[in-house]
Amino acid sequence: MFNNKNIFISGGTGSFGNRFIEVVVKKYKPKKIIVYSRDEYKQYIMQKKYPANKFPFMRFLLGDVRDLERLKLAMNNVDYVIHAAALKQVPSAEYNPMEYVKTNINGAENIIQASIFQKVSKVIALSTDKAANPINLYGATKLASDKIFVAANNIVGKIKTSFSVVRYGNVAGSRGSVQQLFNDLIKNNEKHLPITDKRMTRFWITLDKGVDFVIKSFLRMKGGEIFVPKIPSIKITDLAKAIGPNKKTKIIGVRSGEKIHEVMCPQESAHLTLNFKDHYVIYPSNSDKKTFYVKNSIGEKGKKVKMDFEYSSDKNKDFLSVAEIKKLNDSL
């Protein structure tokens, strides 16, 4: 799919961008990969990994998703866009709300406008379980972003740009994750691992599975879908046992804007949700072509879920055991 194509990834120096590029370079022969981010040091590190003499198709462009004109220039002749740039820390968002609005909402609109301007073929925006029934500002900005990307399909006119969203949960081992925090505390010989609430559960996905799901979503998409993978959940107490079996835990209380459990397919969207073999699809609420989404672009068929259906981390049928979490943590 990506052979001889130009690919643009915003926030390309992040955890997802690094792994996505590794996979694309290994499996495909792209014409060009454009890494767009605002961190020149991370770009410098990535440039050393992909030197121009060995990877002539790599391009590194400094820029911010808040800058529409820069995005228009950066997307020249681009075929596929992955929008991974975002401000993501839940507590930080509560104290710096307008910065999150500027990046996560205004930045999303800029990606859309630049993509339409340059007649990009397909665009996928990365989202989060925190965008479903949000109680914190970060989740609210990502919900707004999701809505904007879905609605963008209504304004393309004769231009054949398609927009979809991929929504998934916590990424194992990603920067800033609780898994990374626990590992760092153990390395520093801390006596306790902090637990916000013993009841807490989270969806859990590996970076490789996240990348694979995004690539499959490019193949599956028609435009307007929110793709949700079927992934396991974990209990935060099991995560602590797996990483620090000999460490005591300390209850510190729920952080600002934090949920006890996460949701990826809200019950309020059950009438718009389709069940596929390894994922769910939430199709647009204003769509007059509901049967259009039952069969995706590679021929897979979905079925309507029950009206009381909700895909939440605490009611998930698939939970990782302590041993499975430990094995996953040791592999990272």
At 218, the amino acid letter reads F
For helices 178-187 and 236-243, the axis angle rounded to 10 degrees is: 30
- Alpha carbon distance 193, 175 (integer Å): 18
Annotation says 54 is catalytic: no
∠ CA 248-251-256 to the nearest 5 degrees?
140
Using an 8 Å Cβ cutoff, are 301 and 292 in contact?
A: no
Per annotation, catalytic residue among 88, 130, 142, 235: 130
* Residues marked as catalytic: 130
